[in-house]
Amino acid sequence: MVSTLQAGTRVDATVIEVLPSMGLAWVLDDEMREWALTRSMPGVRLEGLTPGAKVCLHVETLDGKSYPCACS
């Protein structure tokens, strides 16, 4: 079972794959949760991401599910 994060949580994660032609990047946090980042997400610069890079996700919760809403 995946735990729900509190709204406004910051999560450190590592880039595992970048798909610039699709406008996506996948990251993995310390709890082994995978997160998808999109080109339109505030703070995401896909051209600047490479596998192994560290990012900080800003996570919000809606209806009991956690979603990344920004990246730094």
Fold that domain 9-67 belongs to in CATH? OB fold (Dihydrolipoamide Acetyltransferase, E2P) (2.40.50)
64 pLDDT band, cuts 50/70/90, is confident
Phi first, then psi, for residue 68 (nearest 5°) are -75, 135
Model confidence pLDDT, tens digit, residues 21-57? 999 999 999 999 999 999 999 999 999 999 999 999 9
1 pLDDT band, cuts 50/70/90, is very low
Token pair for residue 29? 């946090």
CB 72, CB 43: distance < 8 Å = yes
pLDDT > 60? residue 8:
yes
